[in-house]
Amino acid sequence: MGWFWADSKARSINDSVSTPASSGCPIDHSSFISACPVKGSGGNNEELNPLNNMPVNLSSQRAPGQKLALSTTRTFSTIPRGETEDNGVWEYPSPQQMLNAMLRKGKGDGIPEDAVESMVDVHNFLNEGAWQQILDWENKYTLETKVEPRLKQFTGKPHDLSPRAQLFLWLGKFFPEQFNTQPPFDRHDWTVLRSQGKEQGWKEVRYIIDYYSAPDDEDTGMPAFMLDTRPALDNFENASDRIIRWAKPIWKKAMGEPDTD
């Protein structure tokens, strides 16, 4: 999850991102978690980009022994990068770059080459979904400042269960119908830039995203996913936003008001 490239310039966005419904991921996600950018994941003293923990120079050439030709086309996300429009948008790696990254880390064995493009499609789709959830959380601030948030950087932490994920797993032992009985297959921390007003600079807000597998879609049989996205409990403002988000529908229900959110 979270495969972005950090060297994109401002240019047109390719918005034809496939969804899981059209190209399901045939691989167990737990088998390639470590292929995603992870904090401190650089091996052999390779240079990593601090914005995404990915190798600075990752080849688009076909790997030795590779049988299937993979696309080298990189897709542009809808997610704005850095503090200014000149930074453009975040860019996803091509299927060939993704395979090369997995092979470089020794994680490519056992993954069919013809599954890599579907993996990229699903991951791109999930990242776009995560950003839409962040935009929803940030909406009240965007309405105040009239400036959209931007993504500064992100870090994968697939082996670090968030406190909330740990709590849900514990509750799942006693209430398996209401809470998760399996841990998330990935976790990301995204540093979002929240505008403090035009020409007033940015505030950094850390978001935690837990990625869960969900039951396959009943109609299509395709894999489904659930994203648990929320601001981290780093300060009072984030805590307040989470309490309000949790309490608002309860209050509306108690007051007999329709939940229109």
86: its two tokens: 């000149």
Structural domain boundaries in the chain: 29-254
Residue 155 bridge partners (DSSP): 189
Q: CA 53, CA 47: separation in Å to the nearest integer?
A: 9
Determine if residue 40 is left, alpha or beta; phi over 0 gives left, psi from -120 to 50 gives alpha, anything else beta.
left
95: its two tokens: 């299927």
pLDDT in tens, 15-60: 222 233 333 333 444 444 434 444 444 445 555 555 555 556 677 8
Check residue 50 and give its pLDDT.
58
Check residue 175 and give its pLDDT.
94
Q: CA 198, CA 147: separation in Å to the nearest integer?
A: 7
161: its two tokens: 């269960």
Contact, 114 vs 182, CB < 8 A? no
Q: What separation in angstroms does the CA of 33 have from each of 63, 122, 201? A: 21, 13, 35
189: its two tokens: 């921390």
- Which of 10, 104, 120, 9 has the alpha carbon at shortest distance from 57? 104
pLDDT in tens, 56-82: 667 789 988 899 999 999 999 999 999
Check residue 40 and give its pLDDT.
44
Backbone angles phi, psi at 6, to 5 degrees: -110, 15
Check residue 215 and give its pLDDT.
81
226: its two tokens: 């659930």
Backbone angles phi, psi at 100, to 5 degrees: -60, -40
Q: Where are the beta strands (DSSP E) in the chain?
A: 76-80, 89-91, 150-156, 186-195, 202-214, 224-231
Residue ranges in the chain modelled with pLDDT below 50: 1-43
Report the alpha-carbon angle 158-205-119, nearest 5: 35
Contact, 216 vs 185, CB < 8 A? no
Strand order across the beta sheet in which 202-214 lies: 150-156, 186-195, 202-214, 224-231
